[in-house]
């Protein structure tokens, strides 16, 4: 009987049909934005997961500790370099999160931003606890410093005793060798 209006590319009565405006197949509006550059911080909330925020802060924390004459000497050794670096990064993350949380209302601090996520204050607490554990491993709290100093002292004494024993044993070998060779021309 009648021809289907949709077959001819015409909208059927009562429907709006295809839009031809910008974003719907029509001409562009004539403006655009440049791509985000390396220093872009548009999507940054707090920076705790951003290398550009954490790396300089961690470096400053580590340098402050290494340059402080009151810090224990063991922290400056190569044996502790990796642990000290990891601790400085953890401290930087905890500091950034603390600053972020401090800017919030109490309600925002304690409420998870979305279902299934942690409240901002809980995220900071976990980061701070991690930094505290690493601080302890490096010996930057009184109890862990005492433990590390004791352990390093024992190791130093064992090393000294071992070197003394090696020196005495070596001297005995030299004496025995000289006796075995006997007096003679050593030229």
DSSP string for residues in the chain: -PPPGGGGTPPPTT------STTTTS---S---PPP-TT--TT-SS-TT-HHHHHHHHHHHHHHHHH-TTS-GGGGSGGGHHHHHHHHHHHHHHHHHHHHHHTS-HHHHHS-SSTTS--HHHHHHHHHHHHHHHHHHHT-SHHHHHHHHHHHHHHHHHHHHHHHHHHHHHHHHHHHHHHHH-SS---
Q: Within 13 Å, how many C-alpha atoms sit on residue 112's CB side? A: 5
- Spans in the chain with pLDDT lower than 50: 2, 6
- What pTM value is reported for the model? 0.61
**What pLDDT is stored for residue 76 in this prediction?**
92
**What pLDDT is stored for residue 105 in this prediction?**
94
Q: Is 14 left (phi over 0), alpha (psi -120 to 50) or beta?
A: left
**What pLDDT is stored for residue 116 in this prediction?**
93
**What pLDDT is stored for residue 179 in this prediction?**
77
Burial class (CB in 10 A: 0-12, 13-18, 19+), 21: exposed
C-alpha–C-alpha distance, residues 126 and 136, integer Å: 15
**What pLDDT is stored for residue 21 in this prediction?**
60
**What pLDDT is stored for residue 158 in this prediction?**
61
Q: In angstroms, what CA-CA distances link 38 with 41, 51, 52?
A: 9, 11, 9
**What pLDDT is stored for residue 80 in this prediction?**
93
């Amino acid at each position: 009987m009648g021809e289907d209006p949709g077959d001819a590319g015409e909208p059927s009565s009562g429907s709006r049909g295809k839009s031809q405006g910008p974003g719907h197949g029509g001409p562009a509006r004539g403006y655009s934005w440049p791509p985000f550059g390396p220093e872009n911080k548009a999507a940054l909330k707090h920076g705790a997961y951003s290398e550009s925020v954490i790396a300089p802060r961690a470096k400053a924390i580590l340098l402050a500790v290494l340059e402080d004459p009151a810090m224990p000497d063991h922290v400056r050794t190569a044996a502790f370099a990796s642990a000290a670096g990891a601790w400085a990064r953890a401290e930087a993350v905890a500091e950034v999160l603390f600053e972020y949380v401090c800017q919030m209302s109490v309600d925002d601090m304690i409420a998870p931003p979305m279902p299934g996520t942690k409240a901002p204050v809980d995220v900071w607490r976990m980061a701070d606890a991690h930094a505290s554990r690493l601080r302890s491993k490096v010996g930057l709290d009184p109890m862990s410093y005492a433990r590390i100093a004791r352990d390093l002292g024992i190791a130093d004494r064992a090393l000294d005793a071992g070197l003394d024993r090696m020196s005495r044993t070596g001297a005995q070998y030299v004496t025995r060798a000289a006796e075995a060779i006997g007096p003679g021309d050593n030229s």
